Structure 1
Amino acid sequence: MFAKEVKTASQTDELRFSILASGSSGNATLIETANQTILVDCGLSGKKIENLFGEVGRSMTDVDAILVTHEHVDHIKGLGVLARRYEVPIYANAKTWAAMEPSIGEINSAQKFQFDMETVKSFGSLQVESFGVSHDAAEPMFYIFHSGKKKFVMITDTGYVSDRMKGHIANADAYLFESNHDVGMLRMGRYPWNVKRRILGDEGHVSNEDAGIAMSEVIGDATKRIYLGHLSKDNNMKDLARMSVSQTLAGEGIIVGEQIELFDTDPEIPTPIFSI
């Protein structure tokens, strides 16, 4: 049995998060309640992730579990180092474990846990729901975090947002939502055609416009904040992503600045911890 102490559940619904890093070069997200601290993905060096924790007034020693979305390097780069350094339990589905083990080095078997797709696990008072996405990885999945009536959704690294996904993620208080590329920039850019075709395909990444359309179909009365995530450093810009998403939402009758707010994320700078 793993020796890390389990904290006592609290009655509070408070759910806090910081997008520590989001982008093509690395991804990591901090989620916490009064009694649990979860890190989703470790897509930067161990040292960089430790520094990002420090920037938001937290430490890797606070982390009770690491959840992995899929095995691409921008999501697991620092996983092995941090797992061994802090002896943190790691959760991933079986296919992701098999795909990433050659890249992360030896992990103590007492730290390895399976989190199947389309299931719910409890971490203290925090309920975490997994759901599948469409991406060119072994079995990619993302997570919905529930604390009482509060709900935070992470959805990036998907070529499209299906009706099934929309059913899972509808009416969250806040989202980290992929807005990866501007289609025009991508088509005219320097990438070889096979890479462009991968990004534009059903197992690639969601464009700004498609992100806005999907958002319009899941935003509910509870929704107040959307963080635009996983922006391509070559085929997107923060201002362009916000403008494109805002215009698309406006076309569907959702006015940014009135019903909801859009926020940037960055591959180097964490967002301030926010409580919903």
Structure 2
Amino acid sequence: MRFSVLASGSTGNAVYVETEEHSFLVDAGLSGKQMEALFAHIGRDMDKLSGLLVTHEHSDHIKGVGVVARKYKLPIYANEKTWNAMNGLIGEIPTEQKFTFDMESVKSFGSLDIESFGVSHDAAEPMFYIFHHEGKKLVLVTDTGYVSDRMKGIIANADMFVFESNHDVQMLRMGRYPWNVKRRILSDVGHVSNEDAAIAMSDVIGDQTKRIYLAHLSLDNNMKDLAKMSVTQTLQSQGIVVGEQVDLFDTDPKIPTALTAV
């Protein structure tokens, strides 16, 4: 199993995951042309995709869903409440391309099992995905205001995590956003901060865990170096040594991460 974080941040999100048999796109939060350019960057063709998995209906996750699905005739998987919330946002989708993927269920595609789980975010029924293949486990978890004990139990001891590290609290509090937006981001249905993300990571990192990709960084309220430093310091305060037990990697709003084996 291999994956690439194609784009991550408030301007658009997309993750690519492949096995020898199947390949999936999780979210398409950029234009169709931008999505095609991202695929070209990692040397993959969108017409080879097996399907498109949607996490929730916010525009930075579904902007290109309709265009991409129609052009490449892709099956789209989302839960019922997300389908209802996407009505009018992604254009007409042929019935034969619409599939329901219930929260906290598993769909199998050959040797690949995809598990869904709920997160705490201000969307209709937001959920993210775990990819299981040949004993390996890849977890995608962003867009959540906090990481509950239930979520930790589901995602624990993955080989690799794509984990939200959205903001530095001080930068957010001192920044230009109006207070209602700040309050939303800081709430239990907003986004996790660098420190809160690292505390959650310390509870789910296990013997199998090798890499964590810091995702959905705010352009206004975070910086890559700051996120990595904050997460490193917090993990080390919890007894986890970055660079020895686990490695941290950046993601970017425009530049895909290298295709990496899980």
Q: What is the TM-score when the length of structure 1 is the normalising length?
A: 0.95
1:203 to 189, 199, 202: 189
Counterpart CA distance in 1 for 2:88 and 2:190 is 23
Structure 2 equivalent of residue 266 of structure 1: 252
Name 2:117's counterpart in structure 1.
131
Which residue of the partner structure matches residue 60 of structure 1?
A: 46
> What pairs up with 1:35-54 in 2 under 5 angstroms?
35-54=21-40
Count matched residues: 262
State the identity %.
Answer: 71
**Unmatched 5+ stretches in structure 1:** 1-14
Name the SS for the 2:124 alignment partner: coil
Question: Which residue matches 2:200?
Answer: 214
Matched residues in 2 for 1:101 and 1:18: separation?
29
Letter in 2 for 1:127: D
Aligned residue type for 1:145: F
Secondary structure at the aligned position of 2:87 is classed as helix
Distance 2:249 2:74 in 1: 30
SS in 2 for 1:99: helix
Q: Deviations over 1:244-275 (max 9, x none)?
A: 00000000110110100000000100000000
Partner amino acid for 2:136?
A: K
Deviation at 1:196, TM superposition (A): 0.2
Q: Which residue of 2 aligns with 1:114?
A: 100
State the partner residue of 1:240: 226
Q: What's the counterpart of residue 142 of structure 1?
A: 128
1:78 to 53, 60, 64: 64
1:159 partner letter: G
The one-letter code matched in structure 2 to 1:109 is T
Corresponding position of 1:184: 170
Question: What is the distance in 1 between the residues matched to 2:99 and 2:234?
Answer: 40
How much does 1:36 deviate? 0.4
Q: Any idea what the Cα deviations from partners look like across 1:122-168, whole Å, max 9, x if unmatched?
A: 12211000000000000000000000200000000000000000000
CA-CA distance at 1:30 after TM superposition: 0.2
Distance 2:65 2:51 in 1: 12
State how far apart, in whole Å, the 2-side matches of 1:19 and 1:185 are: 25
What is the CA–CA distance in structure 2 between the aligned matches of 1:123 and 1:24, rounded to whole Å? 30
Instruction: Please state if 1:103 is matched with 2:103.
Output: no
The secondary structure found in structure 1 opposite 2:249 is strand
- The secondary structure found in structure 2 opposite 1:30 is strand
* Cα offsets for 1:196-239 (capped at 9, x unmatched): 00000000000000000000000000000000000000000000
Please give the secondary structure, in 2, of the residue aligned with 1:80. helix
Over residues 45-70 of structure 1, what are the superposed CA-to-partner deviations in whole Å (9 max), with x where a residue is unaligned? 01000100000000101110100000
What is the distance in 2 between the residues matched to 1:227 and 1:185?
A: 21
Counterparts of 1:37 and 1:123, CA distance in 2: 10
Distance of 2:19 and 2:121 partners within structure 1: 30
Q: SS in structure 2 opposite 1:144? A: strand
Alignment partner for residue 157 of structure 2, among 158, 171, 180? 171
CA distance in 1, matches of 2:48, 2:236: 40
Q: For residues 259 and 202 of structure 1, what CA distance do their matches in structure 2 show?
A: 29
Deviation at 1:121, TM superposition (A): 0.3
Q: Could you say which residue in structure 2 is the equivalent of 1:159?
A: 145
